[in-house]
Chains A and B, each alone.
Chain A
Amino acid sequence: MAESAGGLKRFYIILGVVVVGGLGVLGYLLSKPATVSIPANVTIQPSDTAGFRGYIKGSDSAPVEITEYADYQCPFCQTFATLQMPTIEERLVKTGRLRWRYRDFPLQQHPFARLAAHSAACAEEQGKYWPQHDRIYEGQSEWASASDAAGIFRRYAGEIGLDLGRYDACMSSGKYAGRIQASYEEGVRAGVTSTPTLLVGGRLYQGRFDSDAIGRLVDSLAPRTASTQ
């Protein structure tokens, strides 16, 4: 009996060591700033793409639609988004001549591209996709080489007025990983190999673009009428 009591005592000591060790490790992990990663090898579910065909800017009745396949960490996409897109939006989208559809095409060599795309998708949940989209592109040089891009995206989310509790829950769930991968795979099927690539009327345009070239393209597809002059 005394031997059994001694054995039990030793066992409780071991148990105590395991409890202290386990709680110590969990406590250490909880004290570290949270970083998030979005996986690429997800199984795409029908719910990932149900009713979703990209992020849209512009009128449903616009005569021309351009689909852009882009990567948040691609420098050309950044230049296009920050320098050309404001003019395109002003001259073509807001005048009802062009509808812009943005689709994610995160390239493998860009480690934060999916995270950025997911951050923007989480902003969409709160009706602020485009502000977060623009902010991520504007800050590309800041986060592209950072060790904690997730923290920077979170800061942007706060700056544009997102509810950070909801944003954090969305990011840690990784719920849009399938949607992002579906968008990428659709781009691959369409023949996209680099970013940015524009898909206009079934034709792919790759390389660098400026707002004037886009304007000429829209003109050729839908000539201006007197009312849109």
Chain B
Amino acid sequence: MIFRMGAALMSLLGVFVSAYLYLYKIGRIGTLACGSGSCETVQASPWSRFAGVEVALIGVVGYAVLFAVALLALQPPLAARRWPADLLTALAALGVLFTAYLTWLELFIIHAVCRWCVGSAAIIVSVLVLALLARRGAPEPRAT
């Protein structure tokens, strides 16, 4: 239960971090609190879009989905079931893979590392770890 709660809380943080980056990207927030120009470099690069969609927006939607699944997994009928934890793990793993790709772009193509992206990477990894722990604590599926 506690791990599912943790995953929900971290996903919610991810929603806010991504929303912050997205609001900057669409010009609603002037400057990023970054400490260096690296965040702007990353945001201004062609790789700030993926398949024509702002990466930050993908983050907002992705974390919102994770948050919704984690919340659902806490509800009494589902709290004792394992499959919500499995779904959470699968979605978080997908997020980690996407984050790994974005981090590779930052390090080897854009040559700038945005601290907010590092923060988001830490969040998605923590969601995956919590989801895995939630999966371990959940009862095995019953044989039919």
Q: Which residues of A contact B (CB under 8 A)?
A: 4, 7-8, 11, 14-15, 18-19, 22, 25-26, 29-30, 32-43, 45, 47, 150, 168-169, 171-175, 177-178
A154: min CB distance to chain B, Å: 11
- Contact at B1–A4, with CB atoms within 8 Å? yes
| Separation of A22 and B45 alpha carbons in the complex (Å) | 27
Would A39 and B30 be within 8 Å (CB), given that A18-B9, A29-B23 are in contact? no
Verify if B112 is at the interface (C-beta below 8 Å from A).
yes
| Contact bitstring B13-39, A, C-beta under 8 A = 1, else 0 | 101100110011111111100000110
B27 / chain A contacts, CB cutoff of 8 Å: 34, 36, 168-169, 171-173
Report how many A-B pairs have Cβ atoms within 8 Å: 93
- Contact at A22–B31, with CB atoms within 8 Å? no
- Contact at A19–B12, with CB atoms within 8 Å? yes
| Separation of A29 and B45 alpha carbons in the complex (Å) | 23
- Contact at A39–B40, with CB atoms within 8 Å? yes
A36 / chain B contacts, CB cutoff of 8 Å: 27, 30-31
| Separation of A42 and B46 alpha carbons in the complex (Å) | 10
| Separation of A45 and B19 alpha carbons in the complex (Å) | 27
- Contact at B41–A172, with CB atoms within 8 Å? no
**A39-B40, A169-B27, A172-B27 given; 20 more Cβ-contact pairs under 8 Å:** A8-B74, A11-B5, A14-B9, A22-B13, A22-B15, A26-B16, A26-B19, A26-B23, A29-B20, A29-B29, A30-B23, A30-B28, A39-B41, A41-B37, A41-B112, A42-B44, A43-B41, A169-B26, A174-B40, A175-B44
Chief secondary structure at chain A's binding surface: helix
- Contact at A34–B28, with CB atoms within 8 Å? yes
A22 / chain B contacts, CB cutoff of 8 Å: 12-13, 15-16, 19
Verify if B111 is at the interface (C-beta below 8 Å from A).
yes
B28: min CB distance to chain A, Å: 6
In this complex, what residue of A is CB-closest to B39?
A39
- Contact at B31–A43, with CB atoms within 8 Å? no
Verify if B43 is at the interface (C-beta below 8 Å from A).
yes
Q: Which of these, A7, A25, A30, A174, contacts B16 with CB under 8 Å? A: A25
- Contact at B29–A42, with CB atoms within 8 Å? no
| Separation of A15 and B10 alpha carbons in the complex (Å) | 10
- Contact at B41–A41, with CB atoms within 8 Å? yes
B interface residues, tally (CB under 8 Å) = 34
A169 / chain B contacts, CB cutoff of 8 Å: 26-27
Q: Which of these, B12, B16, B23, B31, contacts A35 with CB under 8 Å? A: B31
| Separation of A175 and B123 alpha carbons in the complex (Å) | 29
B62: min CB distance to chain A, Å: 17
Verify if B109 is at the interface (C-beta below 8 Å from A).
yes
A35 / chain B contacts, CB cutoff of 8 Å: 30-31
A64: min CB distance to chain B, Å: 36
In this complex, what residue of A is CB-closest to B33?
A29
The 9 A-B residue pairs with the shortest CB-CB distance in the complex, in nearest-first order: A172-B27, A174-B44, A35-B30, A34-B30, A22-B16, A39-B37, A39-B40, A39-B41, A11-B5
| Separation of A174 and B32 alpha carbons in the complex (Å) | 13
B69: min CB distance to chain A, Å: 15
Verify if B128 is at the interface (C-beta below 8 Å from A).
no
B5 / chain A contacts, CB cutoff of 8 Å: 7, 11
Q: What are 14 A-B contacts with C-beta separation under 8 Å?
A: A8-B74, A11-B5, A11-B8, A11-B9, A22-B19, A26-B23, A34-B27, A36-B30, A41-B41, A42-B45, A43-B41, A45-B46, A150-B30, A173-B25
